[in-house]
Structure 1
């Protein structure tokens, strides 16, 4: 049997509950993973509340898009993955049907990668979505290069912190943006070269001052909404903006500057590209070994306290750090 978190109606954390189900059996080309830990992501809360970009069919919907665990079964035709392997799950595109808030899941065999030995189980549960989004948006789509100045909105969150670490690793200059001046010292400690607190200063003016009037080369928009216009104004002529988040549900205005390249990062589309995932995994492994990449973990709670985990996330008490849920 497997314990699984499900919800039958949209709403707050209280709609989540744990049920027992038959453990899934991997189909050809799949592996069965005994989940050791998963993490709470913004998309999980959006799905639970009925506010996700993609529809979630009810009842008995599930949550969870990242996990780490041990392979305990392999389907026919699987090569390169063996029972007993410690892995990170890289993609669960149908999280509403077989999300990672569970003891056991099945995923495509090409959706797991070896777990870096240097990471603890909670760190491994919290690292992939943040790091792969940052890498996919900034490197694969944005083409970030050494020496470039990169403005990162929503920098206090998991993806923002990963983007700061990635920019530093590549040799770019991360400029973190936060709405709260109380986060400035924290973001500097996380590796930001500069921090712009928009409750104290104007974003465009601050970035222009930091860049000597030139403007930033790339903006990573993890928020969207009306604030995207200010990010575009903070770019140099012919700069690039990559939108990779949905933290602001308000409409995003149309781009008025034809010289700016605007791209939308589509995570599951890129994660279906095995070559791209291999590049992400190689970069992650190198950075972890060098001590350059580490996710920020807030609290670790057991699966039975999933409601408490979502309540903490809803209140913002995790401060952008990942809340990890363990099944052991």
Structure 2
């Protein structure tokens, strides 16, 4: 028996229940880990609220990220042994391999022996954010030292990961946030410039920063009305990655701006990286090296014990944090 968080219905944070559950042995290509830390993600909130791509079958586990110690390996697993210290690159199913709990069975191909210099908390806070940012900025956009990149929802863990990854290749980061309240925190986290979109003219400020050229890359999880000024802030031939839909308002299509600047607007999913073995391996190499060198250093906003999982997810939903919310087991 192990303590595991499950939901028996869709709803607010109160539906998260910590229960004693029998966890089976891992399947042949799985590894069972004793979970030491869990990274929380907005996808889990959406899943719990019945606003996600995947439907729940109740009672359902949930959770994408974790770090811990290998307890048991499946019969076909060759690369891990009991006692290995590992972290999980989030797999494709939020429920089947749910990480909220003391024990989790996870696919071996998504595990990494994380660098010895990082803690369980940092390891659990790393992979979703860095894989998401790496796939768009490095693997697809081919970001370079000559580029400007606009990062929206910049105080999120993925936003801050994008700062750090862009800095590794020497690109200039323009972070956006609604008000100036988080300006200094975002500068401290690695942004070169911060634009408060409710207080400043986004297009004018980007053109001032880029000396009239615009940003070649935009990394946006919001959509909605801001989509139009974002495209107006882009350089000719630029690419905009839309990797979320946080805005509840309609997203306009700026036809003449897209035509006039020959822009690429791309829907981007984290699964584009993890579903392809070669791409996933490139991500592992880049991110592991960055974690080992300290160039990638996840910012942890706050930690909570497993018993306080409801409070932890409410804090995530409050948007007060800068960085990752982590649950310690």
TM-score, normalising length: structure 2: 0.95
Q: CA deviation at 1:68?
A: 0.6
Residue 325 of structure 1 corresponds to: 327
Matched, 1:272 2:275: yes
Alignment gaps of 5+ in structure 2:
none
Matched, 1:291 2:294: yes
Residue 242 of structure 1 corresponds to: 241
User: Aligned partners of 1:312, 1:305: CA distance in 2, in Å?
Assistant: 11
- Give runs of ≥4 in structure 1 deviating > 3 Å: none
Residue 106 of structure 1 corresponds to: 105
CA deviation map 1:10-38 (0-9, x unaligned): 22111111111112211112111111111
1:151-166 alignment to 2 at 5 Å? Answer: 151-166=150-165
SS in structure 1 at match of 2:307: helix
Answer yes or no: is the 8 Å Cα contact 2:150–2:175 preserved in 1. yes
Residue 60 of structure 1 corresponds to: 59
Residue 29 of structure 1 corresponds to: 29
Residue 222 of structure 1 corresponds to: 221
SS in structure 2 at match of 1:294: coil
CA deviation map 1:70-104 (0-9, x unaligned): 11111112111222111111123211233110111
TM-score, normalising length: structure 1: 0.95
SS in structure 2 at match of 1:308: helix
User: Aligned partners of 2:224, 2:141: CA distance in 1, in Å?
Assistant: 20
SS in structure 1 at match of 2:96: helix
Relative to structure 1, the CA distance from residue 58 to residue 108 in structure 2 (aligned partners, 3 Å threshold; closer, same or farther) is closer
SS in structure 1 at match of 2:173: strand
SS in structure 2 at match of 1:299: strand
User: Aligned partners of 1:98, 1:63: CA distance in 2, in Å?
Assistant: 7
CA deviation map 1:285-328 (0-9, x unaligned): 222232211111122211111011112222223x232111122x
Residue 315 of structure 1 corresponds to: 318
Deviates more, 1:268-277 or 1:3-12: 268-277
User: Aligned partners of 1:99, 1:157: CA distance in 2, in Å?
Assistant: 22
Cα RMSD (Å) of the superposition?
1.4
Answer yes or no: is the 8 Å Cα contact 2:90–2:127 preserved in 1. no
Residue 198 of structure 2 corresponds to: 199
User: Aligned partners of 1:12, 1:298: CA distance in 2, in Å?
Assistant: 22
Matched, 1:131 2:130: yes
Residue 14 of structure 2 corresponds to: 14
Q: CA deviation at 1:187?
A: 1.0
Answer yes or no: is the 8 Å Cα contact 1:152–1:222 preserved in 2. no
